[in-house]
Structure 1
Amino acid sequence: MILRHAAPALLGLSLIAGPVQALDLNAMNEAEKAEFGAQVREYLLENPEVIIEAINILEQRNAAAEAAADKDLVAANASELFDDGFSWVGGNPDGDITLVEFMDYRCGYCRRAIPEVAELLETDGNIRLVVKEFPILGDASVLSSRFAIATKHVAGDDAYRQVHDALLEFSGDVSDVTLRRIADGLGLDSDAIIAAMDSDQVTEEIAQTRALAQRLKITGTPTFVLGTEMLRGYLKADQMQEIADGVRAERG
């Protein structure tokens, strides 16, 4: 029977390339369907690599679709991502590409990312960094972000950078007392910063960043946006450099 000889080949093609129109299962009678099912089983048992190949292709297609969707999200929210008017800007402010980091001070992977981001900024030299305060790991995270943002309002960008780094290194319990000690240790006006932590402006900045993250479907930290690419999770410096080079190459 033609079906017996065609089934394995048709199955392989359908798994890899999609449905084969010449094979109409609805046109088969019950006996033919049973025989075809047996042939499919026999073929897969003899050639299990076909299943792995099909799964790999499906994963590649899904990853490509997700990357394309992320690019669309970045493009639709570009102004708030790259120039919201309140997030701290570091690296090379005049860089030709921007790295945005959504971070939480209590996030272990955010802490692991510190030297990787620093290495990328130093070795590349042409990357602008934007830090998004995105506290999602509980009350201590929110308290830390309020303190960092309040520091920026009260004492400026340089003081924010100092507090930002100190909070990422701090491993104790976060409270008004410990935050005051951090500010005092850096020579900052702790009274003014603590007083500013619950201001409407600080609250609004956190709310705007959370709303942006929701639109971008960001649920974890660290999450990076590098140029046009969304990077969901921790990456090493050389991986981010490769992506930055790719973004630049796309621009021509």
Structure 2
Amino acid sequence: SAQAGRAAAKASGEAWEKMALGDKARKLSSEAGRGLGEVAGKTKAGVVDIAKASGESLRDGIGDAASKLRPAPREELAPPPSGLEQLLAREEAAAAQANAPAAPDLPLFAGDAAIPAVAKPAPGASAMEGDDRSPIAPPMKKTANAKAMPAQGLPQVKGTGMDGVSTRTWGLALGGILLLAIVFWLGGRFGGGMSKSEVETIVADYIKANPQIIPAALEAQRNGEIAKAIDAIRPALEKPYAGAWAGNADGDVTLVVFTDYACGFCRASVPDVDRLIREDKRLKVVFRELPIIAPQSRDAAIMALAAARQGKYDAFHHAMFAAGSLDKAAIAAAAEKVGVVTDGTADATANEALFQRELDSNLAIATQLQLNATPTWIVGNQLFQGQIGYDALKQAVAKARTAKS
């Protein structure tokens, strides 16, 4: 029994020791768990702080980038002016131009120092604005059978009788003035015993019975405007460039022709001019180069002016029209045929800038006269456009001669 009691006591002690060891293990495990929990909590708080700071930095960076990439606000453009506003602006500009002081005429010769700067006509270019020195010129008089080559890119001065609107305006204005003049005349003569309605009836009946008075008045008005425009630039118009003329150097009448070597009607008119010169020994013909139809027209015109400097204009003029082509080879062949020196040894043959100044001067004259086709003929105070034929030219020369006598 004693032995069994001792064995039981020993076993019980060992069991209690084992139980104490378990308590220690649990105590250590609990303490370790609390330490790990604190570390985990601290780690979690640190991660949250880091994530929060990173998020704020990222949002700030994205915000800055978005601000830089955000397009600038577009400026609201002002609406374009209405058609009425544009019309009023044009009318104000025209009124200001009409009240502006007159500028001096064009220089007499391309070699003069005061040549106006006029842009070269570029192929296919849009029409440029008219020279502000241009006089008011009416529509050009044409014969019934006149044929003309239209100009490409020749500048026009708007609102001065070249378009349909201004022509109708002239007609209405002149017709109204004529009607008022007749009314006042009749009223002054018969006003003592006639009412206003009776005078108006007489005027209306007279115009219906004589409708030709309106076109006749318009024609007289146009002719007067043409004469004024020609007289304003006559010295520059009738003074030839070097040898670019034919006929009598001291002729009592000067016929000016604007020509282009690409113009078929100019070519067809050469025999008419030759016949005039042969039959009228008192006529002087001045040729003005106006290369406005084809890009190659300018090359031929430059060579013609070089020929004029060498006294061979008439020969080159005929050779170039006979060539029927405007390529460089044809121009060179025509020059060689008549002996034009092109290697630069002759006087001013290589001076293209000098020749361009003459072309610019011719273009300025054409702008002032509102020419829109070749050939254009000017003699005295008369202007014709197109291939009008020998008889019409002869009659125009005779009329100019009679007006001078």
Pick the TM interval, shorter chain: 0.7 to 0.9
1:210 and 2:363 equivalent? yes
CA contact (8 A) 2:243 2:308 kept: no
Distance 1:193 1:214, change over 3 A: farther
Q: Where does 1:55-204 land on structure 2 (aligned, <5 Å)?
A: 56-83=212-239, 85-86=241-242, 88-153=244-309, 156-157=310-311, 159-175=312-328, 177-192=329-344, 196=349, 199-204=352-357
CA contact (8 A) 1:102 1:222 kept: yes
**Partner residue of 1:226 out of 363, 374, 379:** 379
CA contact (8 A) 1:104 1:110 kept: yes
Amino acid at match of 1:23: S
User: In the alignment, what sits opposite 1:18?
Assistant: 179
User: Structure 2: how far apart are the matches of 1:249 and 1:99?
Assistant: 14
User: Structure 1: how far apart are the matches of 2:404 and 2:336?
Assistant: 46
Q: Which runs of 5+ in 2 are unaligned?
A: 1-174, 184-195, 199-203
User: Structure 1: how far apart are the matches of 2:332 and 2:220?
Assistant: 47
Q: Where does 1:12-51 land on structure 2 (aligned, <5 Å)?
A: 18=179, 22-23=196-197, 50=208
Higher Cα radius of gyration: 2
Specify the SS of the correspondent of 1:238. helix
Amino acid at match of 2:332: R
The two structures, once aligned, show a CA RMSD in angstroms of 3.1
1:239 and 2:392 equivalent? yes
Specify the SS of the correspondent of 1:100. strand
User: In the alignment, what sits opposite 1:36?
Assistant: none
Per-residue deviation, 1:173: 4.2
Per-residue deviation, 1:188: 3.4
Amino acid at match of 2:336: D
CA contact (8 A) 1:87 1:130 kept: no
User: Structure 1: how far apart are the matches of 2:336 and 2:240?
Assistant: 30
Tell me the alpha carbon deviations over residues 2-57 of structure 1, each in whole angstroms, 9 at most, x when there is no partner. xxxxxxxxxxxx99x73675339xxxxxxxxxxxxxxx9xx9xxxxxx59x63x44
User: Structure 2: how far apart are the matches of 1:198 and 1:178?
Assistant: 21
Per-residue deviation, 1:193: 8.8
CA contact (8 A) 2:297 2:326 kept: no
CA contact (8 A) 1:101 1:130 kept: yes
CA contact (8 A) 1:96 1:126 kept: yes
Distance 1:139 1:219, change over 3 A: same
| Larger relative helix fraction | 1
Distance 1:166 1:66, change over 3 A: same
User: Structure 2: how far apart are the matches of 1:200 and 1:248?
Assistant: 37
With 225-234 and 67-76 compared, the bigger mean Cα shift is at 225-234
Distance 1:168 1:112, change over 3 A: same
User: Structure 2: how far apart are the matches of 1:247 and 1:188?
Assistant: 35
Per-residue deviation, 1:166: 1.2
User: Structure 2: how far apart are the matches of 1:238 and 1:220?
Assistant: 20
Specify the SS of the correspondent of 1:139. coil
Identity %: 23
CA contact (8 A) 1:151 1:193 kept: no
User: Structure 2: how far apart are the matches of 1:237 and 1:122?
Assistant: 12
Amino acid at match of 1:240: L
CA contact (8 A) 2:241 2:308 kept: no
Q: TM-score, normalised by structure 2?
A: 0.47
User: Structure 1: how far apart are the matches of 2:291 and 2:350?
Assistant: 14
Distance 1:140 1:206, change over 3 A: same
